């Protein structure tokens, strides 16, 4: 018996119960939950392969250390799926590269430490009781490589990371083999078309009628836009205005850097949001610059080498060495004296940094977008919710992520 594989089609089907636009991790998660619900799904991806634009630029991180109970619950749902992925998808032995390595938020000032204390207090009120507050000395006792300038930290051991490509492929493979998903509604299926650009979503009167693509037109009762930074552009073809600000984010990849502790947690500086985690016997490192202006959606997204030097140069105001001094040695060795490279993608940022999930505009049009950098960790719970709203299993009035919500400014969540 052949192992399960993603079902790719050479020709565009004429109809589908639901068309999913976007073949990144969120689009593939949507396909999984829709096929599990018994729907005939067609996923359209403009690029030649799934999960190749924004998805691989992620660090694959997941955490429950959020500043609101709704996102804590949404991400918790996803982590529970990750922990039982092979069983829940019917893909025996599927390895996500899952590691509960912990997330450590380090404070260099009393102001951010006070903010962490306040956040942890509220998290405990919301039922998240396993976040530890540590003094600087307590943190250094566990992780001796931390700077003496770290005055305190918050830490949750159950947070962690996974392999984003394996997650994306797992969703797509399970969706393509929906009959093997435990508790799936019979009749569901998913078909994927790569190299298929969506040109427009067509509306007839008050509801969605079809989607035109570079390969022709497909009729569908429902369309779910899960196209990351391109979601607002695509929704506009159906006459729907969506407020999404595509914002460039870059990732520094340094394989084979022995000075990186292989058992380190995801380590984040509270003041700047510069962060890194172990990977490939080296690390992945990021810095989410709050001053980065939004722009149009891009493909490809250009890399900026000066951005990398901002993380590596100890003289930078957001240098990794501010929290972990071993990075000074890496810089002294030649910036560093190993091979490194950059990847760039875009966050699709919404005004309150929460995703848009559910129906919008004409009947049959749904959004699964706007995750603002949290698509890996929140995409499972978010995609399940979108499908439940589409099939009537969820109460639209109780949806905290409805696209027409009133926005509230958020200050705590720095990543």
pLDDT at 240: 97
Same domain, 280 and 357: no
Q: Has residue 377 been placed in a domain?
A: yes
pLDDT band with cut points at 50, 70 and 90 for residue 414: low
Same domain, 118 and 107: yes
Q: Has residue 404 been placed in a domain?
A: no
Please state, in angstroms and as integers, the Cα–Cα distance from residue 32 to each residue in 6, 27, 156, 273, following that order.
Answer: 11, 9, 29, 33
pLDDT at 329: 84
pLDDT in tens, 198-230: 999 999 999 999 999 999 999 999 999 999 999
Query: To the nearest whole percent, how much of the chain has pLDDT over 70?
Result: 97
Same domain, 288 and 332: yes
The bridge status of strand 198-204 relative to strand 160-161 is unpaired
Same domain, 237 and 251: no
Radius of gyration of the chain (CA): 21
Same domain, 345 and 355: no
Q: What domain count does the chain have? A: 2
Query: Does residue 352 surpass a pLDDT of 60?
Result: yes
Q: Has residue 200 been placed in a domain?
A: yes
pLDDT at 291: 85
Same domain, 253 and 130: yes
Global pTM exceeds 0.95 = yes
| Residue 274 belongs to domain spanning | 103-158+246-349
pLDDT at 325: 95
The pLDDT of 53-71, averaged and rounded, is 97
The pLDDT of 49-70, averaged and rounded, is 97
Same domain, 328 and 367: no
The pLDDT of 92-119, averaged and rounded, is 98
Same domain, 239 and 278: no
Q: Has residue 45 been placed in a domain?
A: yes
Q: Has residue 187 been placed in a domain?
A: yes
Cα–Cα distance between 276 and 292 in angstroms, integer? 19
Q: Has residue 129 been placed in a domain?
A: yes
Q: Has residue 407 been placed in a domain?
A: no
Same domain, 237 and 332: no
Same domain, 295 and 342: yes
Give SS3 for 90. coil
Q: Has residue 134 been placed in a domain?
A: yes
pLDDT at 334: 61
Query: Does residue 335 surpass a pLDDT of 80?
Result: no
pLDDT in tens, 354-411: 999 999 999 999 999 999 999 999 999 999 999 999 999 999 999 999 999 987 665 5
Same domain, 83 and 196: yes
Where is average pLDDT lowest: 10-14, 128-132, 157-161, 308-312?
A: 308-312
pLDDT band with cut points at 50, 70 and 90 for residue 45: very high
* CATH number reported for the structural domain that contains residue 330 in this entry: 3.30.9.10
Same domain, 329 and 276: yes
Q: Which DSSP string corresponds to 294-309?
A: P----SSPPP-HHHHH
Cα–Cα distance between 26 and 234 in angstroms, integer? 16
pLDDT at 407: 72
* CATH number reported for the structural domain that contains residue 217 in this entry: 3.50.50.60
């Amino acid at each position: 018996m052949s192992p399960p594989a993603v079902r790719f089609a050479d020709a565009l089907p004429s109809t589908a119960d639901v068309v999913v636009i976007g073949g990144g991790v969120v689009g593939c998660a949507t396909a999984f939950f829709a096929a599990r619900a018994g729907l005939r799904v067609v996923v359209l991806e403009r690029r030649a392969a799934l999960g190749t634009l924004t998805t691989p630029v992620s660090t694959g991180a997941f955490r429950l250390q959020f500043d609101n109970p709704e996102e804590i619950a949404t991400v918790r749902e996803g982590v529970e799926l990750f922990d039982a992925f092979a069983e829940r998808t019917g893909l025996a032995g599927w390895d996500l590269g899952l590691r509960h390595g912990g997330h450590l938020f380090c404070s260099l000032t009393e102001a951010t430490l006070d903010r962490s204390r306040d956040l942890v207090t509220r998290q405990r009120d919301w039922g998240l009781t396993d976040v530890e507050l540590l003094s600087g000395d307590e943190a250094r006792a566990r992780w001796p490589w931390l700077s003496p300038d770290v005055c305190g930290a918050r830490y949750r051991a159950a947070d962690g990371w996974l392999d984003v490509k394996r997650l994306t492929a797992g969703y797509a493979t399970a969706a393509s083999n929906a009959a093997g998903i435990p508790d799936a509604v019979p009749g569901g299926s998913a078909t994927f078309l790569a190299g298929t650009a969506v040109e427009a979503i067509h509306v007839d009167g008050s509801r969605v009628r079809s989607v035109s693509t570079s390969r022709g037109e497909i009729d569908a009762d429902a369309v779910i836009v899960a196209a990351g930074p391109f979601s607002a552009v695509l929704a506009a073809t159906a006459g729907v205005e969506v407020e999404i600000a595509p914002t460039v984010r870059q990732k520094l990849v340094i394989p084979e850097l022995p000075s990186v502790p292989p058992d380190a947690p995801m380590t984040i500086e509270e003041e700047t949001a510069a962060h890194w985690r172990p990977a490939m016997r080296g690390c992945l490192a990021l810095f989410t610059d709050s001053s980065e202006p939004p722009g149009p959606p891009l493909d490809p997204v250009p890399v900026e080498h000066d951005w990398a030097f901002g993380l590596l140069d100890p003289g930078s105001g957001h240098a990794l060495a501010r929290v972990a001094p071993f990075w000074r040695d890496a810089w002294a060795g030649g910036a560093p004296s190993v091979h490194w490279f950059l990847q760039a993608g875009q966050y699709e940022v919404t005004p309150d940094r929460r995703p848009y999930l559910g129906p919008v505009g004409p009947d049959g049009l749904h959004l699964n977008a706007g995750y603002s950098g949290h698509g890996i960790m929140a995409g499972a719970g978010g995609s399940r919710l979108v499908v439940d709203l589409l099939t009537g299993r969820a109460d639209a009035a109780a949806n905290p992520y409805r696209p027409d919500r009133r926005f509230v400014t958020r200050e705590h969540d720095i990543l």
